[in-house]
Amino acid sequence: MLTSILSYKNRGKWGNASYRGNCSGWVIFDLLKYYKPNHFLELFAGGGTGFEVAREIGYTDSVHLDLSERWGGWNALTDEMPEGSDMIFIHPPYHDIIQYSGVMWGDKPHPDDLSRCSSYDEFIRKLNFVHGKAYASLRNGGRMAILIGDVKKNGRYFPIQKDMNWYGETDMHFIKEQHNCVSDKTSYQKNIVRIVHEHLLVFRKEDIWVFPVAITQKVVSDIRFSEKVTWRDLVQAALESVGGTASLQQLYEVIEVTKKAQKNKHWKEKVRQTLQIYNDFESVSRGCWAFVARSGNAA
């Protein structure tokens, strides 16, 4: 019985276990057994796990595609998508965490290999293109299942599943626990939070012509130009911007240009009132303010 948490402690007997990034065959096995599609298509076939699972279950005409010559050198960015599938399973590279062309297969990097994108933004753009193309090829009522993980690189967290577009209606969102990763054998120099989960997203196509697309759009908001920001947050930001200790005159100079100050002719009085009524701030000398010192760290 499927639950929203998936945990397979062994990858199963299918496919090439040494092919890095190869997912547990139990993921595909459970999807096929649960949804029972008529025509199954797999993109990024990699080490052959999906092919072997499908054949064992009885899908003699399932289609498995990959940029590797083993699978015909099918290019997800430029080649036609096979039509007529009612279940597509996609397990793409997780940006450049594992590089495939020129490492796992082939003699040199391929320009259309998603693991060879020059930036994260380029990767997301190309991933969205592939997902949109795959979704459009589905039969109405069909499903697209995407197995994707988050990435942490150089101290920055990349939530791929949040940054990519979501096509169609969300049928299910599974959290899959990771086991037996190469990183399990790595000793890290500093205390970090290891990523031990992936996302299995299943989308359903409910209209022949029209489908919803959920898009993550990043915008920049500057509180200096907002009327909704509180006086406390504005004073805190101003104090931080000048190093944590400042005279009233310094704070006035920073806050004077803000939209909130320009809308209130008594803004200087509001600044002084804010400094006095919140226990985040303290007077360290006449006309000079700082943050209240906090002592100790939580055990």
Average pLDDT of the chain to the nearest whole number:
93
**pTM: predicted TM-score of the whole model, two decimal places:** 0.86
Q: In this structure, are residues 158 and 101 in contact, taking their beta carbons and an 8 Å threshold?
A: no
Per-residue confidence (pLDDT) for residue 259, from 0 to 100: 96
Distance CA 13, CA 15 (A): 7
Average pLDDT over residues 119-146: 97
pLDDT tens profile 208-249: 999 899 998 888 889 999 989 999 999 999 999 999 999 999
In this predicted model, which residue has the larger pLDDT, 191 or 80? 80
297, pLDDT greater than 70: no
Q: Where are the domains positioned within the chain?
A: 5-214, 223-291
Backbone angles phi, psi at 218, to 5 degrees: -90, 125
Domain at 223-291, CATH from 3.90.190.20, 3.20.20.70, 1.10.10.10, 3.40.50.300: 1.10.10.10
5-214 is a CATH 3.30.428.10 domain: no
- What confidence category does residue 181 fall into, taking pLDDT thresholds of 50, 70 and 90? low
How far from 150 is each of 156, 162, 164, 169, CA to CA, in Å? Answer: 11, 9, 11, 22
Beta bridge partners of 282: 290
- Quickly state the pLDDT bin for 299 (edges 50, 70, 90): very low
pLDDT in tens, 18-74: 899 999 999 999 999 999 999 999 999 999 999 999 999 999 999 999 999 999 999
Question: What are the φ and ψ backbone dihedral angles of 75, each rounded to 5 degrees?
Answer: -100, 110
Handedness of CA 229, 232, 233, 237 (dihedral sign): positive
Query: Which residue, chain included where needed, has tokens 């397990």?
Result: 91
